[in-house]
Structure 1
Amino acid sequence: MVQDNVLKVVDISGTNLATSCRQIFAGLYKLKHLNVSRLQCSSLSKDFFRNYTSLEELVFRSSHLDVGLTDEVSIGLLRGLPLLKYVDLSGNKLINVHDRLFTSQRNVLKSLTLADNRLTCVPNTIKYLTNLSALDITSNLISSLEDHERLVLENHRLKCPNFKLLLKGNPFECSCQTVNFIEWIYTTKLSLDDPRNYMCTDRTGVSMKMVFFYNNLPAFRETCVDRTWLIFSICASILFVLVLVTVAVGYRYRVSINYCCLVIRRRYRGYHNIEGDTTQYKYDAFVAYNFDYRFVCNDLHEHIENVMNLKLCLHHRDFQPAVDITDNIMDAISESKWIIIVITKSFLSSTWGQFELEMSRRHMFQRNSSNLIVIILDDIDKVKMPRTLYRIYNQITCLEHPGRETYLQWKDKDYDVEDAHLFWAYLKNTLLA
């Protein structure tokens, strides 16, 4: 401790006098200027300057403050220095400055030097320094100043008309994204350090004077607009193609998608898939037909329900009222052991007939079972068959493959008794298998 010390200036920069930035010098109560640059302050005490209550100028350059100046240290390092007006923290690789570092100097700090650091933006702390007249952030990593940063600086200029901002030596960008910043540089009333010699780099990596870019700003703005529209057009085209492909795929597989949606909806309604031959089905067979009442209600109904003692699901009799027809169809298909489709020309021209045919085929593949019986009443040219029916027709021609759909050919006219007997016998054997 130094008794009655009247020292006003101390410079121990680059010396070994301070072997640690955690030790505290006492007795220097009248000290005005302190230079502690180029010290090893990776470990820094928040009380390092506690006794320098009269300090007005602090030079603390190149002292590894990027490590030592932690948030906790920042809050207390300059506390108790109410007269501090000039601070130089250059060359410390700082990437930011804590908002509370200068809490005790909010109304007195006049000059803040943060040159040769790694700042990418204006320190937020200047909003609280009401008398700051000079901010040096030269040779940092600032590419431009965002709108909110420029607003902070303009507001500070209104409070301190003599405020000067030093920006030279930063890697500014001259691009479409920085047009507003470049225009601000040459139109602001804020005092800057030689803005006509600011350098910037364009998007191709070419370095140029920023003022040249500013002088050609109208033309460059048009280029930016053209490029923006080009990017927008490309994005819109890609989006249009994606939508078009999605619609095309959706249309191509609309039946499959519809079937999946109906299956999911049935699950949410509390139904479960019926699996295995041991399942107790509600119906022995669901009959899909279209205006073929005479055959279905007379011949088919007579032989299956009265003779074979099996239960059919007929839409005009068994569909639930006040229920969507697609749900009724899906319920009938899922709750029936067999699906009988009566093919006529009117059935194939019917929208619901096509729907029932496709849903039956999808359900058969999902359940991995051959529970589909197709009865053809009319003479139908294979060339004119719908794609779904044609696929099934081709499958059943391969009789050597088990598990295929069964076709029964019923001729309403000019059939003999023996043909009819074989028809119903085959149908009976299939349903009771």
Structure 2
Amino acid sequence: MTSLQVFSLDTVCCYTPSDTFVETPHLQTLQITNCVEFSPDTELFQPLSELQILDLSDNKIQNLTFLSRANLIKVEKLFLKNNQLRIINETIFDTLPSLKFLDLAGNPFACDCSNAGFIMWAIKNKQVQVANAFQYRCSSPLALDGHFLLDFKVQSCWEDISFLCFMSSSALVLLTLLSSFTYHFMRWQLVYGFYLLQAFLYDSKKKRQGCRHVYDAFVSYNVHDEEWVYGELVPELEEQQGWKLCLHHRDFQLGKPIIENITDAIYSSRKTLCVISRHYLQSEWCSREIQMASFRLFDEKKDVLILLFLEELSSNQLSPFYRIRKLVRSRTYLSWNQARGNKALFWEKVQRALDC
């Protein structure tokens, strides 16, 4: 058997173990046909390194994956007629470097984009002659049953992919531009809207619970202005006028999320007193406090927000976040800088604002 060069099996090969051809290393022509149960694996043909002609017709083979590591480096002619091959991956033929003739007649090809690569390969490759390729017919999809395989318009496959890539890249570019535009020009409005929604939900919850006011005023201030708050504001309002103030360092609950402490403090107080300075406008938490308080102002339609300016600020120093001053009555705007000459009058105005 070691000298055998031509071997043919027809209808008598129900089972072909992987070591069938170990003893026939010099085989040059192999024909295995009409084997209903024939299902070759990658190891079956590995010993046949000198094989030149391989005929596997009429075997109901459904794919060609067994050729991927078959070691058929000298095969020049490959016959695969009348099998069950629907989709051909043209790259599988790269494992057959000596291939010159290929016959795939009688297979039920699929006329869709999965065969586009094979169609282009069959038309354009100059090394392998695909026998009667222009006579191959389609069996699927049903609308193309009986049509010639090579008549399938493969350009539509590339156009679909190109169009999809174009649409995806365009959408990505537009999304990037829109995100950049939104972040640059509208980020404060979006954040403001988010906290207004959060305040609305909190306010609805408090209304259902029927909660009472615990404090006369919640004092919203920046840590840089703490010296003025404790040196001027708290002694005057709590000790002299008798108001009960809510101060974050003293009255916020430990372990509770800070945003919940803020909303609790605002809705548990009759008023919110914002001590505004340059540092205040730069503080994230202070901005959230004034957002919550401004929503309560819009929702309850009461003068619950008092703005106390520690220093003079021009309109261009106030971000759009803080233009709510246009919606608050002018008497709620207090200026410490202007009242230094008459502090008694200033504190009297604060008292009236808290009392009304």
Query: Any conservation in 1 of the 2:275–2:309 contact (CA below 8 Å)?
Result: yes
Q: Does 1:289 align with 2:221?
A: yes
Look up the match of 1:176.
113
The equivalent residue for 2:168 is: 235
C-alpha displacement at 1:396, in angstroms? 3.9
Say if 1:430 and 1:211 are closer, same or farther in 2 by CA, change over 3 A: closer
Aligned to 1:385: 318
The Cα of 1:328 is off from its aligned counterpart by: 2.3
- Match for residue 288 of structure 2? 355
Contact kept in structure 2, 1:285 and 1:337, CA below 8 Å: yes
Please state how far the C-alpha of 1:315 moved relative to its aligned partner: 1.6
Query: 2-side partners of 1:347 and 1:229: how far apart?
Result: 53
Which consecutive residues of structure 1, in runs of 5 or more, have no partner in the other structure? Answer: 1-129, 132-151, 156-160, 166-171, 187-193, 400-404
* Residue 337 (structure 2) aligns with: 411
Q: Would you say the 8 A contact 2:113–2:157 is kept in 1?
A: yes
Identity of aligned residues (%): 27
Q: Partner amino acid for 1:233?
A: F
Q: For 1:90-169, list aligned pairs within 5 A.
A: 154=61
2:316 aligned with 1:394, yes or no? no
Residue matched to 2:263: 330
Distance (Å, rounded) in 1 between the aligned partners of 2:324 and 2:288: 15
- Greater Rg over alpha carbons, structure: 1
Matches within 5 A, 1:249-264: 249=182, 251-256=187-192, 258-259=194-195, 262-263=198-199
Determine which of 276, 285, 294 is the counterpart of 1:343. Answer: 276
Amino acid at match of 1:285: A
Instruction: Provide the secondary structure at the position in 1 that maps to 2:206.
Output: coil
Q: CA deviation at 1:300?
A: 2.4
Q: Distance in 1 between matches of 2:118 and 2:299?
A: 63
CA distance in 2, matches of 1:395, 1:230: 51
Q: Is the 8 A contact 2:274 2:308 kept in 1?
A: yes
> Residue 354 of structure 1: CA displacement?
2.9
Q: Name 2:351's counterpart in structure 1.
A: 428
CA distance in 2 between counterparts of 1:410 and 1:353 reads: 19
Shift of 1:163: 7.5
Distance 1:293 1:162, change over 3 A: closer
Shift >6 Å, 4+ stretches: 161-165, 180-183, 198-201
Measure the CA separation in 1 of the matches of 2:298 and 2:204.
17
User: Does structure 2 retain, via aligned residues, the 8 Å contact 1:357–1:388?
Assistant: no
Map 1:2-13 to 2 at 5 A: none
Superposition deviation, residue 375 in structure 1 = 0.8
- Say if 2:224 is the partner of 1:301: no
What is the TM-score normalised by the length of structure 2?
0.53
**Alignment correspondent of 2:149:** 210
CA distance in 1, matches of 2:206, 2:198: 15
Q: How many angstroms does 1:181 deviate by? A: 9.1
Task: Name the CA shift for 1:305/1:162 in 2 (closer, same or farther; >3 Å).
Answer: closer
- Does the CA-based 8 Å contact 1:339-1:371 persist in structure 2? yes
SS at match of 1:415: coil
The answer to whether the 8 A contact 2:116-2:157 is kept is no
Structure (1/2) with the larger helix percentage: 2
* Contact 1:377–1:412 (8 Å) recurs in 2: no
Partner residue in 2 for 1:274: 206
Residues in 2 aligned to 1:210 and 1:365: alpha-carbon distance in whole angstroms: 71
* Structure 2 partner of 1:82: none
User: Does the 8 Å contact 2:196/2:292 carry over to 1?
Assistant: no
Structure 2 residues without counterparts, runs of 5 or longer = 1-35, 38-58, 63-79, 85-108, 124-131
How many equivalent residue pairs?
Answer: 256
Amino acid at match of 1:388: F
> Could you tell me how far apart the structure 2 residues matched to 1:300 and 1:229 are?
68
Shift of 1:333: 1.8
Contact 1:283–1:313 (8 Å) recurs in 2: yes
- Which residue of structure 2 aligns with residue 84 of structure 1? none
CA drift of 1:374 comes to: 0.2
Cα pair distance change 1:303/1:274, threshold 3 Å = farther
The letter for the 2-side match of 1:255 is: V
Aligned to 1:7: none
